Amino acid sequence: MGETKTVHSPIVTYTSIVSLLTLAPPFVILLWYTMVHADGSVLQTFEYFRKHGLQGLKNIWPAPSLIAWKIIACFGAFEAILQLALPGKRVEGPISPNGNIPVYKENGLLAYAVTLVTYLGLWWFGIFNPAVVYDHLGEIYSALIVGSLVFCILLYLKGHLAPSSSDSGSLGNFIIDFYWGMELYPRIGKNFDIKVFTNCRFGMMSWAVLAVTYCIKQWFVQFSFDSQIIFYLQYEMNGGVSDSMLVNTVLMLVYITKFFWWEAGYWSTMDIAHDRAGFYICWGCLVWVPSIYTSPGMYLVNHPVHLGTQLAVLILISGLLCIYVNYDCDRQRQVFRRTNGKCLIWGKAPSKIVASYKTEQGETKTSLLLISGWWGVSRHFHYVPEILAAFFWSVPALFNHASFLPYFYVIFLIILLLDRAKRDDDRCSSKYGKYWKMYCDKHIGDASSDPEHLDYCSYEAPWIILGASDRLIELDFTVYLFTSNSSLLEVSLVDMSLKLCLLNSLL
């Protein structure tokens, strides 16, 4: 059953849940309003609310219009059909806590290509103008907010009445069940995986479609702004789209292409393998991703910046590098797990910890923890290039308009990933126990800040005299000795009997 325990204290947990449930929807509307109608200026929006109070929120909140529902329904139905109909390799997800192995069809990249080609084709042949999406963005968000809330209620009911697998259950509390979800792998029928739909085929796909939309919209905006000579010249130089918008769009599209290229890998990450389908994940992917994740591009539509070739290329290359490093981190873990550690990481056989854990049924299983490559640099190192990449597709907005809004996504991402790292550490710590502690201590950065670690170093010499170790780490009352051939020996210090027992061969 996914994550069942809360990491923070109950008061923090409930406060953050209730705040997110109540504040996230108006925030989506406020961000859109400020970006599109208040010149991206938080001060202007603030001034508006000072004058109009809460009634002001009611005034700016667009009603979900028919065209908005139609756009969402067409997009959602198209993606659902692609998910079901396109061919793809059969892929098994990681074994769930209840011992189930979910099976997927790997057709995300194909669905992504079909979606973009269809969208651009509709535009090219004059069947549908993507600028319409931008013009009805507020109504679309408004409809998504309501529609996704209903969707999450249905998910909650499904979890109670007709769960798809034994990886489901209640925490005994309506708020937490609704927020975190009931099921880990909810499905419609045998094949339609709901989380793949919400997270990948709707959420991530809408991000790509909106990135293209903003670019196309800016292309059109030039005609309405052509009296403003500076904008006009800038658009002229870039063939209708500013270089800042181009850099932003290219980086976001490369990131999303990477996502779909690696989609099967995503199915073994926390979102899919650990987080259950509830408001947090599903509402987040259905509403928060298309609104907040796309916001740097949304801002640029009306606030084009001329970067110049040098700066544009510098930002582009830096962003591409970060996306590559983020991909490579995920790839290393995926290849390492898939080959059972029998692979090369940075040209060498990887160091690893064989960590055993107990399933909810009490069965003992083992997982491999990688301590080489990026995963040997620090825990959650992959979050660093993830944040930097987001910074690089936001920074084309520069700081010209004295607004931090184009950087809101980066700020949000830092908070999200810090919380996620904490949740993941907590989960892994309770799953793997001493093996996780051993993994954490293996990172010099973490361990060296621990004064006790310095004491352990003083034990190192005798072992080196024994000729058996190249590294010594103590955990509680246990010393772990990494021998030169990477076998792991355990030495109990409690009785000082120096009982050496071979735990696992790490090769």
Question: Which residues of the shown chain bind ligand NDP in the complex (CB under 6 A)?
Answer: 94, 269-271, 326, 330, 333, 367, 369-370, 375, 382-383, 386, 413, 416, 420, 424, 428, 431
3-state secondary structure of 139: helix
CB of 60 to ligand NDP, least distance (A): 27
CB of 352 to ligand NDP, least distance (A): 8
- Nearer to ligand NDP among residue 231 and residue 288 (C-beta): 288
- Nearer to ligand NDP among residue 355 and residue 481 (C-beta): 355
- Nearer to ligand NDP among residue 37 and residue 380 (C-beta): 380
**Strand ranges for 267-418 from DSSP E:** 352-358, 364-370
- Nearer to ligand NDP among residue 40 and residue 97 (C-beta): 97
Q: Using CA of residue 336, residue 341, residue 342, residue 345, what is the dihedral sign?
A: positive
CB of 3 to ligand NDP, least distance (A): 10
In angstroms, the CA 20 to CA 48 distance is 24
CB 60 within 8 A of CB 29: yes
- Nearer to ligand NDP among residue 156 and residue 336 (C-beta): 336
β-strands 500-504, 103-106 pairing? unpaired
In angstroms, the CA 434 to CA 479 distance is 11
Decide: residue 288, CB within 10 A, 0-12 exposed, 13-18 middle, 19+ buried: buried
Tokens of 350: 């990887």
Q: What angle do CA 438, 487, 479 make, to 5 degrees?
A: 40
Tokens of 304: 């084009």
CB of 273 to ligand NDP, least distance (A): 7
CB of 333 to ligand NDP, least distance (A): 5
CB of 339 to ligand NDP, least distance (A): 12
| Termini Cα distance of the chain | 32
CB 335 within 8 A of CB 343: yes
- Nearer to ligand NDP among residue 160 and residue 420 (C-beta): 420
- Nearer to ligand NDP among residue 205 and residue 370 (C-beta): 370
- Nearer to ligand NDP among residue 158 and residue 379 (C-beta): 379
The residue number whose beta carbon is nearest to ligand NDP equals: 269
Cα 355 to the chain's mean position, in Å? 25
CB of 269 to ligand NDP, least distance (A): 3
CB of 382 to ligand NDP, least distance (A): 5
CB of 431 to ligand NDP, least distance (A): 6
Return the exposure string of 434-454: e unless at least 16 CB atoms fall within 10 Å of the residue's CB, then b: ebbbbbbbbbeeebeeeeeee
- Checking 65-73 for CB contacts under 8 A at 24+ apart, the result is 65/136, 65/139, 65/143, 67/132, 67/136, 67/139, 68/136, 68/139, 68/140, 68/142, 68/143, 69/143, 69/147, 71/132, 71/133, 71/136, 71/140, 72/140, 72/143, 72/144, 72/147
- Nearer to ligand NDP among residue 103 and residue 153 (C-beta): 103
CB of 186 to ligand NDP, least distance (A): 19
- Nearer to ligand NDP among residue 217 and residue 382 (C-beta): 382
Backbone angles phi, psi at 412, to 5 degrees: -60, -45
Torsion of CA 388, 394, 398, 403, to 10 degrees: -120
